[in-house]
């Protein structure tokens, strides 16, 4: 089954420069795709198009068999409730603890307090963050911060994780820690993952593609 | 579903309390100024404010005093009449103008309605001609609002101050709420990415703004009501400042105006500040 299908996608900047022209991409359900590309290649733009924050000038984007480009605002919000999103800019919450941040999101999505607490604790456990539950989000180190961003994205059990450079700025050890956590998520939850990065990460992901000059170049 | 308003209030406990209180204070001040403007130019300024102190002969029968009171009250030139016991003057509950010596009997205090030239003297003569009246004194202290009404440029000056201050309050309101929303930017972005509508995210901030507007208006309306009640006991003092506060209908209108203006200003300021959500949750 196909989770993401992008066909003939074109997107231009306000100045008319083409970011994509006729882009095609297909991600199967349960796949972990790593999308590589240098800075400015359009990785963030592609992810924003996938979660509907940007509208393409041409082409079609299907996510979980729904045409993102034609969804009404209400339906788009409904779709986003099934996605886990790690944005490029980390979300710095003013909640007092990491656990409170996660339960805040879960309760906003309609879960009862008890269930939200249970699910949040479960997610932290899975990502190896249980010891940080009562720490303030602002006191965390970069690797812990990156893992918390992922926890925030997946705590509600989404069907697809869209992670925009979650390892940016981390040392090699930190990158490995984050990727191992994602690997655990992928295996245990059978989560479809689309992760973007600037550099290749051997040994992780089921497929890697390179985004360059608005085109996907080969599969490694 | 989580109570977003509760979450915003929890955030307020940690920061932003001070600026929100200041916001409330400024709004209250503006509404007070607005009501003062309305009450000053409500047509109940007390006219020219000439007052007459009418000393009654000692030993008048209550029926005679009643008759005099009812007669004088019907005169077109008379805006208000008050009956004052001699004991009230002796016990210094009522202070008489310096030129009036301690009265032997009870007295009437009259407020005249915009008397023309020579009219005061004519009324004085007419009063002196009535049986039971010992003497009449004119007293020219004018109410504050009457002074303002006849001061050139006062109306426009106060109106300009009112508009300028109103704009300042609106801008400050917007800035306070904008900073509050931005302080919660991480949570709002998280909600946006999780499929929560922008409308839902903005609602707690708008409710908070409306609460500020409503409470400021309500406190002022209650304040006006208490001044009115106090004024029933201290007519003279109130008459000398804002006579319109002696009229229950005017007090009610001023109270409702404070409520309406408070809500409107809060709604405008709140809605204006919510525009920042377009950037946080595009």
Cα–Cα distance between A197 and A35 in angstroms, integer? 6
What tokens were used for B244?
């319109």
Contact between B148 and B30 (Cβ < 8 Å): no
DSSP letter string, B19-70: HHHHHHHHHHHHHHHHHHHHHHTSS-S-TT--EEEEEEPTT--HHHHHHHHH
Kindly indicate the confidence band of residue B221, based on its pLDDT and cuts at 50, 70 and 90.
very high
For A101, the enclosing helix (H) or strand (E) is: helix A98-108
Query: From B3, which residue of chain A is nearest by alpha-carbon distance?
Result: A108
Q: Which residue has better confidence, A67 or B103?
A: A67
HSE-CB at B170 with a 13 A cutoff on CA atoms is 14
**β-strand pairing of A2-12 with A160-164:** unpaired
At residue A188, φ and ψ (nearest 5 deg) are -80, -35
Cα–Cα distance between B185 and B64 in angstroms, integer? 77
Cα–Cα distance between A23 and A96 in angstroms, integer? 43
- Residue with the two structure tokens 């985004």: A211
Complex confidence, ipTM: 0.88
Q: Which residues of A touch B2 (CB under 8 A)?
A: 104, 107-108
- Of residues A210, A178, A213, the one with CA closest to residue A34: A210
When the pLDDT of each residue in chain A is averaged and rounded to a whole number, the result is 89
Per-residue pLDDT reduced to its tens digit, B91-107: 777 777 666 777 788 89
- Residue with the two structure tokens 């690997």: A183
Per-residue pLDDT reduced to its tens digit, B110-166: 887 765 556 777 888 889 888 889 888 877 655 566 666 666 677 788 889 999 999
CB distance from A95 to chain B under 8 Å? yes
pLDDT over 50 (residue A97): yes
Its sign, for the CA torsion B28, B30, B36, B42, is: negative
CB atoms within 10 A of CB B270: 22
pLDDT over 70 (residue B49): no
Q: Which of A80, A108, A153 sits opposite B2 (nearest CB)?
A: A108
CB distance from A48 to chain B under 8 Å? no
Interface of B with A in 14-73 (CB under 8 A): 14
């Amino acid at each position: 089954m196909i989770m993401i299908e992008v066909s003939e996608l074109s997107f231009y900047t306000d100045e008319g420069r083409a970011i994509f022209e006729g882009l095609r991409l297909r991600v199967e359900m349960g796949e972990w795709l790593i999308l590589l590309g240098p800075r400015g290649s359009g990785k963030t733009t592609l992810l924003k198009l996938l979660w509907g924050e940007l509208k393409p000038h041409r082409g079609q984007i299907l996510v979980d068999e729904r045409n993102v480009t034609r969804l009404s605002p209400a339906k788009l919000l409904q779709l986003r409730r099934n996605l886990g999103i790690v944005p490029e800019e980390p979300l710095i919450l003013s909640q007092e603890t990491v656990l409170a941040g996660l339960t805040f999101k879960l309760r906003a999505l309609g879960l009862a307090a008890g269930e939200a607490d249970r699910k949040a604790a479960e997610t932290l456990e899975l990502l190896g963050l249980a010891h940080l539950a009562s720490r303030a989000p602002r006191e965390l180190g970069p690797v812990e911060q990156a893992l918390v961003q992922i926890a925030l994205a997946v705590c509600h059990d989404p069907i697809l994780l869209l992670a925009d450079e979650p390892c940016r700025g981390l040392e090699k050890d930190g990158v490995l820690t984050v990727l191992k956590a994602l690997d655990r998520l992928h295996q245990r939850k059978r989560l479809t993952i689309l992760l973007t990065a600037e550099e290749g990460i051997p040994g992780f992901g089921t497929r890697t593609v390179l985004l360059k000059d608005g085109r996907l170049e080969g599969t490694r | 579903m989580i109570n977003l308003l509760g979450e915003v209030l929890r955030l307020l406990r940690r920061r932003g309390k001070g600026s929100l209180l200041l916001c409330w204070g400024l709004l209250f001040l503006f509404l007070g100024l607005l009501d003062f403007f309305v009450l000053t130019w409500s047509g109940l300024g007390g006219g020219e404010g000439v007052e007459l102190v009418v000393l009654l002969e000692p030993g008048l029968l209550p029926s005679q005093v009643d008759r005099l009171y009812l007669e004088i009250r019907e005169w077109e030139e008379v805006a208000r009449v008050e009956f004052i016991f001699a004991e009230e003057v002796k016990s210094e509950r009522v202070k008489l103008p310096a030129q009036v010596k301690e009265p032997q009997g009870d007295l009437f205090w009259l407020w005249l309605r915009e008397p023309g030239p020579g009219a005061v003297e004519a009324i004085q003569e007419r009063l002196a001609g009535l049986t039971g009246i010992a003497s009449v004194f004119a007293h020219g202290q004018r109410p504050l609002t009457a002074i303002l009404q006849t001061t050139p440029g006062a109306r426009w000056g106060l109106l300009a101050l009112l508009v300028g201050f109103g704009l300042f309050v609106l801008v400050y309101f917007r800035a306070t709420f904008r900073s509050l929303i931005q302080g919660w930017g991480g949570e709002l972005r998280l909600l946006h990415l999780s499929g929560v509508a922008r409308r839902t995210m903005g609602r707690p901030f708008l409710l908070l703004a409306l609460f500020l507007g409503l409470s400021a208006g309500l406190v002022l309306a209650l304040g006006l009501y208490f001044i009115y009640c106090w004024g029933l006991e201290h007519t003279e003092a109130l008459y000398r400042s804002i006579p319109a506060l002696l009229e229950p209908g005017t007090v009610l209108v001023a109270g409702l105006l404070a409520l309406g203006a408070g809500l409107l200003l809060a709604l405008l300021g709140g809605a204006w500040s919510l525009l920042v959500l377009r950037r946080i949750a595009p």
